[in-house]
Structures are given as structure tokens and as C-alpha cells.
Structure 1
Amino acid sequence: MHEIKQISSVQNALVKKILLLKEKSRERKKTGLFIIEGQREIELALKGGYEIETVLFQKDLIDLNATYTLFENSKLTPDYIEVTKDVYQKLAYRQTTEGVLAIAKSKPTLLEELELKNKNPLILIAEAPEKPGNIGALLRTADAANLDAVIIANPKTDLYNPNIIRSSVGCVFTNKVAMGSTSEVIAFLKAQNINIYCAALSASENYIKTDFNPASAIVVGTEADGLSQEWLENSTQNIIIPMQGEIDSMNVSVSAAIVIFEAKRQRNFE
């Protein structure tokens, strides 16, 4: 049997620590810890090999046995803490929630530690994405397409921002993710002999005509600024999705999904 601790005060030291982890990127980086909310997200984190230290649950929302079930295929033995409804409402990020939170250890996202097992990888790269919702959507697409990696160049936020975890519905845990400067990422790709296909308006060919069968990186920028000149100067080929309406761009996650699944189609969805 697990020993069940209890917390009933929002002034509790652990509650204050969790609030800092939820709200402050600096605290997440300093401690190497972050917060996961929801059963599905915790399950995906466990599948992704994340180490979970503590589980907090609200018994009116989730049965204790259900929290045990999350770890039935894991060797981890986290601390279990029952919290009151007031405490849980203080900690929970989502309005519609499942009554369970976890404190987990983050994984390194250093580019030099990224291992590509596939000799012919297909990678998504996003330069300087600012909106957690877009990052989450990109990670969902990457998971759906079973990409070999996602690389964020010139990151503006840390990977374990609660908004990213929420918007990715846990796919932040199921992808191989690395971060680095644009220069570092370009050097990495060239060292691996990976073609660079930049989504850009200038000097571009229709993405349908591009051969994504060789090792390929699909690179997208922000909707406001596009890609930096450094990417365009190092591009194997700029690509474009032809527009038939009045605007010249789409949401970055939508554009990335269109190109990624064309690449997967060419590869026979390998």
C-alpha cells in the first residue's frame, strides 16, 4: 500500500512550489521540474520515459485506484498526495479537469544529444515560435505523422510551459524534441546531410513538386515574420503552398501539416 499524504491549505510549501513551476519558466529551468495535468497527459509522459516524482489527486474528481492504475505498467513509485477541492482548484490549469496532477522531471533538449535512428529522417523545424498553442499544434502534427524529430530554433519559451503541454494534448512527451540557435540547427542538419526545405514566399517551388524522399527537414517560421535570412541562405529549396484566395499565408501549424503529410505520402507513409 502507498502512504497517502494530505494537503488542505493553499499556503502549504509544496502548493507554493507547484504554483511557481506552473507560472515561471525560470523556476522550471532551475529545478528541472514541471507540472503535468490530466490522466492522458500523465500516461503519455510515462510512455515517453519521463520520471514522475509526485502525484496529487482530488478524490471527488478521481478515484485513488485510478491514480494507481496510471502507474501499473511503470516501475516508478511516486509520492501520492490527496488535496482538498480548494487546493486543487488553485493548482489546476484547466477549467475542465480530471482531478490529477503530477510533478515530473524534465528531459534535456540539447541539440547535440538528439539521436536520429532513422538513416533517412523526416524532421520538422520551427524557428522562433512564440505562441504555445502553435507549438502544441505542431507537436500534435509531428506525433500524428510519426516524425523522427522536432527541432525548435531560437526558442522563445521552454518546452514544459503548461500551455504547450495542454495544447499538444501530451504530444510534447511523445516526440523527440531538441532546441538550439538557428546557426546550430543548420550546422546540425548539414553535418547529417539532411536537405533543408524552407517554407517561404520567395524563390519557391510548389511543395508538391519537391522530392521529400531523401533525408529532409521541413522548416517553418512565424506567420508574422517568416523565416530569418540565415535559413533562406542555407535552404536546399524554398517551398510554397499555392494560395487560391486573397491571403498569402495560413496558420503555421496548418501549413506544416500539409507539407509533412505530402512528404509522408511520397514515402508511402513509412
Structure 2
Amino acid sequence: MKFISSPHNATIRLAEQLQRKSKARKKEGLFLVEGKREIQLALDGGFELTQLLICGEVFLESSEFTRDQIEKHINIKESTEVIAVSSEVYEKLAYRSGTEGCIAFAKAKSQQLSSLQLDTNPLILIAESPEKPGNLGALLRTADAAKVDAVIITNSITDLYNPNVIRSSVGCVFTVPVITSSTTETILFLKEQNINLYAATLQASERYDLINYTSSTAIAVGTEATGLSQEMRDAAVQNVIIPMRGAIDSMNVSVSAAILLFEAARQRGF
């Protein structure tokens, strides 16, 4: 088994680039996944791992280990190269503490609308122009909890494979089909698929709990600062609002999405 002890090794330098720069992730078609649970969720979600870096002292509390020992913990395929790394190298790469001594290189998937396969009567979350990786990660976690059929991110400012997105989603970026598109393309897709669009916005809105979401449904949420675009609001069959009793008129976007999605799920017999 290959062993890397130098932080200046080419593989480690590439890992650092993938961790820090969206441009590198897009150029290489690769991103990093850190932690046992996240790596296993990526595998379960059909993502291909090219390499798996293991720090034995952290992963198995032993500097010496075999591939068979690793496979008892992570269900990697034969094509995945396992590389042992020193504690120094691992600490240089680890994005957060307590991630069990494993970091994987994963291949990015197609995120085009044309690749989205939907069952009949789908429930979709649309996130328009998410800016903060933490918010996007939380939205993906919410989407997984509500078991939506897909998440469509329109006019995205945040890279889906940003380490902060993966971390804040606790791996849910791998458990739900995620598509990136423009608002215009998304609206056209929804019309072609006869999917009703409901826009979470203050303007000309109906209470969210008075809407029937049992047919094919897409629920769109915007940023906390600017909300949804006029284009998205105009395309909706109905704007919906969550009544609030306090001094403010908005909540964190993932909280709002959770309320709307779970009402839709409740109506569908969740």
C-alpha cells in the first residue's frame, strides 16, 4: 500500500486545491469527502471514489493496516486506491476535527436537468440563488428529512461540493438528487413536466397550510435578504406565506423550507 508522509506530495497538493478552490473542483471533476458517514453516504448515492486517504492512527488507532481492514468499515470498490498518510499529512488536510481519519477523492456527477429522472407525482425543492454554504447544506439536510424527490438549485452562487456544504448537510448532498440550473430553464422544465410551482414569498400570498400539495409539486425558496426573483414569483401557480406572530417577517431559509416541505409530506401521507 502506498504511503505518503510529505505534505508536498502531488496528491496532497491536489487535495488542498480541491478543498480550497471551486475552480479546481470544476477543472478536475473531483471533490473531497471527509468522514466515515459522509464517505459511505457518497458510495450509497452512487458516487465513484478514485482514492481514499487513511490515517491509520486516527482511523484504526494503529499506523499499520491492510485494505481488508478498511473494507470492514467502508464499502469501497476494487477500483478505489487506498493510500496511507501520516498524521502530519492528515492534519494538514482535515477540514474539521473528529472525522475518523479518512478523506476520499470523489468524482462529481452530472447536475443537468436532462439527467433528472422523476417518479410520478414528485415533490421538489427549488433553492434560488443560495449564497451561504451553510444555508445550502441545511436545505439539503431538510430535503433529505422530508424525502423529496429532487432539489433544484437555480442561479447558484455556492459550489455544491464546497466542503462547508458537505459538512453542513451531514452528507445529505449525496442522498437526494441535486440539479443546478437557471431560473428560466427550471420554470420551463416544470411546465413541460406539469409540475405545480409554489413560491414562498410575502407578495400576493395564501397561507401555506391552505394549499393542496398532493399533486406534482415544486416549492421554491429564495435568499433571506432578497427572497425569490420576480421571474420565479410570476411563474408560480400560487405564492405561499408562513404566518408569523413575532416582530420579524422572515426565518432562516432552511426552517421555512422545512415547514413547507413537511406540510406537503403530511398531505401525502408521510
Equivalent residue, structure 1, for 2:203 = 202
1:52 and 1:76 in contact (8 A); partners too: no
Query: Is the counterpart of residue 108 in structure 1 residue 110 in structure 2?
Result: yes
Amino acid at match of 2:70: T
Amino acid at match of 2:248: I
Equivalent residue, structure 2, for 1:148 = 149
Amino acid at match of 2:216: A
Deviation track 1:52-78 (CA, whole Å, cap 9, x = no partner) reads: 011111111112455222444x54431
Q: What is the 5 A alignment of 1:80-119?
A: 80-116=82-118, 118-119=119-120
Query: Is the counterpart of residue 54 in structure 1 residue 51 in structure 2?
Result: yes
Query: Is the counterpart of residue 262 in structure 1 residue 263 in structure 2?
Result: yes
Q: Which runs of 5+ in 2 are unaligned?
A: none
Equivalent residue, structure 2, for 1:67 = 70
Deviation track 1:208-260 (CA, whole Å, cap 9, x = no partner) reads: 00000110000000000000000111110000000000000000000000010
Moved over 3 A (4+): 74-77
Amino acid at match of 2:20: E
Equivalent residue, structure 1, for 2:6 = 9
2:130 and 2:156 in contact (8 A); partners too: yes
How many residues end up aligned between the 2 structures? 264
Equivalent residue, structure 1, for 2:227 = 226
> SS at 1:15's partner residue?
helix
2:36 and 2:99 in contact (8 A); partners too: no
1:124 and 1:219 in contact (8 A); partners too: yes
Amino acid at match of 1:95: S
Query: What is the rounded CA distance, in whole Å, between the counterparts of 2:225 and 2:69 in structure 1?
Result: 44
Query: What is the rounded CA distance, in whole Å, between the counterparts of 2:100 and 2:87 in structure 1?
Result: 12
Pairwise CA distance, 1:96: 2.5
Query: What is the rounded CA distance, in whole Å, between the counterparts of 1:172 and 1:38 in structure 2?
Result: 14
Query: What is the rounded CA distance, in whole Å, between the counterparts of 2:222 and 2:53 in structure 1?
Result: 38
Q: Percent identity at matched positions?
A: 57
